[in-house]
């Protein structure tokens, strides 16, 4: 996929991919424009407590009288930051472990893959919950924990791609010409692995957003930052559901789900385009 | 990866490679369980202070409890002995005392895990059945309208946070009052007989079961679809078609049985995902299983309980994976012929 125009021509034809792209662009713009949008400050309280959606408050208000629309818009930021930075960590570790494991093979491969299997077997969400409950009181730690514990699938994909690339002539040729291993990995392997791994990276963004929201919903992680998980947690713990105040759960969850689906759609379309065996 | 059948393999060779396969899986399962125990030991000691402060920090303990805890952790012993004591305690089911409930962690977890199985097992079965059925339709009519609808719905359901879907379902049915939305039993009921108790539990089970099934089946749909597409590329499908075997028979007798195999190994990998959903859904519906226990432990900073719950979940998942490996061996004769390094 050297030609960007050619790539875009293919992507344009993918309906799901375009829908996903529009969703994400919409939410990114909403988040960037939040300070200048005509919405009340997310911390501004009014006397209208738990009021259903109206013209003044399209998403209603919560038990403090805060505007739900404003809270939802200001929550986008944390989701995007968590998703993108956690995905970068996941991709970095996945690339390093996968390429080294696949390229060198032998005992290094065996050790790395057993460690990968170990992390694949353990239910990651529960592991992340436990570690976050102990160490993860802020956004930085939450991103780090999600990133450090979610790389195994990516590492496996990179490894199997490396294994097939290793047999190709240009790598063989480089090896025979005594090119240093790390140079082959960096100059020949990496550029070929990277485009395909972007699809996985985008899917990792949605996974990390999902995980961070789940953590905060359960009451662990960065529970002082304004986020969708926090809004849903407050609605749940504050008895809004029993009280029938549906708007405090519906809208934050809808925003969160749309962002996750947006990235999933983009990731799946990229997968189809970059790995066309499946699609046509 | 599977390797093609070697011709002229003797029966004793088959037996031997099956045995090697099983032994490898057993060794891996045991190694993972030990790693989890060691991990549990280390992580609660990485925090500043001694483990008693960490685990029971700020709680008023009687001198007797204090003495018991010192003995349990072997705190006056060297580190290597502490690890051994911890492993011994864990293996003998001594997971400490939960101070929220003032009960041994192991007895709390025993009840919780049974409740989780009551919810998780039928959800897993439904999810697999629905996933295989919808995946079959999507794979069969690939790139058609129905394929797009099935695949997109699966993807969307799979992306929805389980607790949010649960919340929406609660909001929908709560007003009607037909089905209970929280807990496992109607509080304060004295059941005249077992049937009425069972009926009450089933009523409580309804919503969490639907939620868990909905958020889980999508991954099986996509796996079944892809697996079916792989099988369609195989020569024996071409042969069957060339022979004039009716398409329905090709699908149901030739393609589907072979496409089921990857599902078995994927069930194992996705088991952890199901457990994650279980934790969130139990929390929303106050279903008194292991996930709800984790939530309570987080709220109350009850670390012995949290530590124990993680251990039990991790070990259950490892064992479930092991069982899936055995089923795979039973279902796929090719694996018996595979040469092992």
- Helix orientation angle between B11-46 and B79-91, rounded to the nearest 10 degrees: 120
Question: What is the rounded end-to-end Cα distance, in angstroms, of chain A?
Answer: 17
Q: Count other Cβ atoms within 10 Å, centred on residue B313.
A: 30
Q: Which helix (H) or strand (E) holds A145?
A: helix A139-149
As a whole number of angstroms, the distance between CA B70 and CA B47 comes to: 18
Among candidates B160, B226, B306 on the partner chain, residue whose Cβ is nearest the Cβ of A257? B160
Q: Is A121 on the interface with B (CB under 8 A)?
A: yes
Q: Do A126 and B307 touch (CB under 8 A)?
A: no
pLDDT of res. A95: 94
Contacts of A264 in chain B (CB under 8 A): 155, 158-159
**Residue A136 in this model has a pLDDT that exceeds 80:** no
As a whole number of angstroms, the distance between CA A216 and CA A248 comes to: 16
- Which of B55, B276, B293, B296 has the highest number of chain A CBs within 10 A, making it the mutation to test binding with A? B276
**Residue A276 in this model has a pLDDT that exceeds 80:** no
**Which domain, by its residues, includes B188?**
11-47+95-336
CA triplet A267, A272, A274: central angle to 5 degrees?
90
Contacts of A130 in chain B (CB under 8 A): 43, 306-307, 310
Among candidates A214, A242, A256 on the partner chain, residue whose Cβ is nearest the Cβ of B280? A214
* Tokens 């990229």, residue located: A270
As a whole number of angstroms, the distance between CA B270 and CA B124 comes to: 10
Token pair listed for B182: 């929280």
Among candidates A123, A244, A253 on the partner chain, residue whose Cβ is nearest the Cβ of B164? A253
Decide: residue A118, CB within 10 A, 0-12 exposed, 13-18 middle, 19+ buried: middle
Within-domain flag for B90: no
Within-domain flag for B259: yes
Contacts of A134 in chain B (CB under 8 A): 43-44, 46-47, 303
Within 13 Å of residue A172, how many CA atoms lie on the same side as its CB? 5
Judge whether B329 and B323 are in contact, CB under 8 Å. Answer: no
Nearest partner of A268 among A208, A198, A193, A210, judged by Cα: A198
Residues 12-31 of A with CB under 8 A from B: 16
Q: Do A210 and B159 touch (CB under 8 A)?
A: yes
Domain locations in chain A as residue ranges:
13-29+72-274
Q: Is B271 on the interface with A (CB under 8 A)?
A: yes
Question: What is the rounded end-to-end Cα distance, in angstroms, of chain B?
Answer: 13
**Residue A252 in this model has a pLDDT that exceeds 90:** yes
Within-domain flag for B53: no
Q: Is B138 on the interface with A (CB under 8 A)?
A: no
B27 to chain A: closest CA residue: A114
Residues 180-219 of B with CB under 8 A from A: none
Among candidates B47, B175, B272 on the partner chain, residue whose Cβ is nearest the Cβ of A134? B47
Within 13 Å of residue A20, how many CA atoms lie on the same side as its CB? 26
Within-domain flag for B84: no
Q: Is A250 on the interface with B (CB under 8 A)?
A: yes
* CA B223 to each of CA B78, B198, B219, B228: distance values in angstroms, whole numbers, following the listed order: 50, 35, 6, 8
**Greatest CA separation found in chain B?**
82
As a whole number of angstroms, the distance between CA A152 and CA A141 comes to: 19
Within-domain flag for B109: yes
Within-domain flag for B263: yes
Q: What is the ipTM of this complex?
A: 0.88
Q: Which helix (H) or strand (E) holds A13?
A: helix A4-13
Q: Which fold has domain A13-29+72-274?
A: MetI-like fold (1.10.3720)
| Torsion B13-B19-B23-B24 (CA) sign | positive
Contacts of B167 in chain A (CB under 8 A): 232, 235-236, 241, 249, 253
A260 to chain B: closest CA residue: B159
Please give the mean pLDDT across all residues of chain A.
88
Q: Is B279 on the interface with A (CB under 8 A)?
A: yes
pLDDT of res. B89: 83
pLDDT of res. B334: 65
Q: Do A121 and B164 touch (CB under 8 A)?
A: no
Judge whether A59 and A251 are in contact, CB under 8 Å. Answer: yes
Q: Do A257 and B167 touch (CB under 8 A)?
A: no
CATH number of B153's domain:
1.10.3720.10
pLDDT of res. B193: 80
pTM: 0.88
Q: Which helix (H) or strand (E) holds A154?
A: helix A152-166
| Torsion B328-B332-B336-B341 (CA) sign | negative
> Could you give phi then psi for residue A272, rounded to 5 degrees?
-65, -40
- Helix orientation angle between A106-121 and A68-104, rounded to the nearest 10 degrees: 150
Within-domain flag for B195: yes
Q: Do A253 and B167 touch (CB under 8 A)?
A: yes
Token pair listed for B73: 């952790």
Contacts of B28 in chain A (CB under 8 A): 114, 117
**Alpha helices, DSSP H, located in chain B:** 11-46, 51-56, 63-73, 79-91, 105-140, 145-159, 162-174, 194-232, 235-242, 247-249, 256-285, 290-299, 303-331, 334-337
Q: Do A126 and B313 touch (CB under 8 A)?
A: yes
Q: Which residue has the higher pLDDT, A86 or B103?
A: A86
pLDDT of res. B4: 44
Domain count, chain B: 1
pLDDT of res. A33: 92
Among candidates B44, B156, B272 on the partner chain, residue whose Cβ is nearest the Cβ of A261? B156
Nearest partner of A142 among A265, A26, A230, judged by Cα: A230
As a whole number of angstroms, the distance between CA B268 and CA A152 comes to: 15
As a whole number of angstroms, the distance between CA B295 and CA A55 comes to: 37
**Residue A206 in this model has a pLDDT that exceeds 50:** yes
SS3 label, residue B97: strand
* Tokens 């003032």, residue located: B102
pLDDT of res. A217: 93
Contacts of B171 in chain A (CB under 8 A): 241, 244, 246, 249-250
The pLDDT tens digits for A91-133 are 999 999 999 999 888 899 999 988 898 888 888 888 899 889 8
Question: What mean pLDDT comes out for the span A183-190?
Answer: 84
Within-domain flag for B124: yes
SS3 label, residue B104: strand
Token pair listed for A97: 């472990």
Confidence of residue A279 (pLDDT cuts 50, 70, 90): very low
341 residues of chain B, pLDDT tens digit each: 344 444 455 666 666 777 888 888 888 889 888 888 888 888 877 766 566 666 666 566 677 777 777 766 666 677 788 888 888 888 888 887 787 777 888 888 998 999 999 999 999 999 999 998 999 899 888 888 898 899 999 999 989 999 999 999 988 888 777 788 788 887 777 778 888 888 888 888 999 999 999 998 888 898 888 888 888 888 888 888 888 888 788 888 888 888 877 777 777 777 777 888 899 999 999 999 999 999 888 888 788 888 889 988 888 888 888 888 888 777 776 655 554 43
Residues in chain A: 280
């Amino acid at each position: 996929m050297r030609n960007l125009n050619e790539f875009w021509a293919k992507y344009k034809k993918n309906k799901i991919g375009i829908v996903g792209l529009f969703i994400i662009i919409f939410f990114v713009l909403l988040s960037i424009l939040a300070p200048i949008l005509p919405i009340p400050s997310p911390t501004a309280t009014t006397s209208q407590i738990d009021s259903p959606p109206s013209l003044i408050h399209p998403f209603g208000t919560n038990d403090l009288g805060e505007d739900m629309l404003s809270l939802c818009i200001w929550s986008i930021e944390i989701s995007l930051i968590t998703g993108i930075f956690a995905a970068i960590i996941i991709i970095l570790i996945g690339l390093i472990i996968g390429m080294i494991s696949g390229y060198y093979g032998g005992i290094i491969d065996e050790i790395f893959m057993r460690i990968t299997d170990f992390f694949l077997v353990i239910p990651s969400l529960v592991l992340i919950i436990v570690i976050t409950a102990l160490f993860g009181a802020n956004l930085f730690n939450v991103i780090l924990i999600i990133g450090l514990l979610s790389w195994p699938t990516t590492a496996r994909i990179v490894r199997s791609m490396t294994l097939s690339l290793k047999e190709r002539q240009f790598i063989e040729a480089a090896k025979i010409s005594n090119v240093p291993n790390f140079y082959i990995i960096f100059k020949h392997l990496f550029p070929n692995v990277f485009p395909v791994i972007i699809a996985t990276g985008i899917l990792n963004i949605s996974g990390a957003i999902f995980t961070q929201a789940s953590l905060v919903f359960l009451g662990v992680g960065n529970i002082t930052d304004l986020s969708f998980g926090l809004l849903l947690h407050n609605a749940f713990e504050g008895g809004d559901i029993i009280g029938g105040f549906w708007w405090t759960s519906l809208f934050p969850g809808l925003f969160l789900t749309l962002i996750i689906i947006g990235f999933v759609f983009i990731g799946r379309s990229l997968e189809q385009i970059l790995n066309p065996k499946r699609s046509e | 990866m599977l390797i093609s059948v070697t011709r002229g393999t003797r029966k004793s060779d088959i037996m031997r490679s099956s045995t090697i396969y099983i032994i490898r899986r057993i060794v891996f399962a045991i190694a993972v369980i030990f790693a989890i125990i060691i991990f549990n030991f280390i992580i609660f000691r990485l925090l500043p202070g001694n483990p008693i402060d960490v685990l029971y920090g700020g709680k008023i303990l009687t001198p007797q409890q204090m003495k018991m805890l010192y003995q349990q952790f072997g705190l006056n012993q060297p580190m290597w002995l502490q690890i051994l004591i911890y492993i011994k305690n864990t293996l003998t089911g001594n997971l400490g005392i939960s101070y929220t409930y003032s009960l041994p962690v192991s007895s709390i977890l025993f009840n919780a895990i049974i409740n989780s199985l009551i919810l998780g097992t039928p959800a897993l079965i439904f999810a697999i059945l629905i996933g295989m059925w919808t995946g079959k339709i999507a794979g069969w009519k690939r790139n058609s309208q129905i394929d797009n609808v099935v695949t997109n719905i699966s993807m969307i359901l799979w992306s929805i946070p389980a607790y949010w879907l649960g919340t929406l379902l609660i909001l929908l049915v709560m007003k009607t009052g037909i089905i209970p939305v929280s807990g496992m039993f109607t509080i304060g009921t004295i059941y005249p007989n077992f049937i009425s108790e069972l009926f009450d539990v089933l009523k409580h089970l309804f919503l969490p079961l639907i939620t868990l099934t909905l958020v889980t089946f999508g991954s099986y749909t996509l796996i079944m679809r892809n697996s079916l597409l792989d099988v369609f590329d195989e020569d024996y499908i071409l042969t069957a078609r060339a022979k004039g075997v009716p398409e329905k028979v090709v699908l149901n007798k030739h393609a589907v049985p072979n496409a089921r195999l990857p599902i078995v190994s994927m069930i194992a990998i996705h088991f952890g995902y199901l457990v994650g959903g279980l934790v969130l859904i139990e929390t929303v519906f106050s279903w008194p299983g292991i996930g709800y226990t984790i939530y309570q432990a987080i709220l109350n900073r009850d670390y012995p309980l949290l530590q124990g719950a993680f251990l039990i979940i991790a070990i259950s998942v490892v064992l479930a994976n092991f069982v899936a490996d055995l089923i795979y061996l039973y279902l796929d004769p090719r694996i018996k012929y595979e040469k092992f390094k």
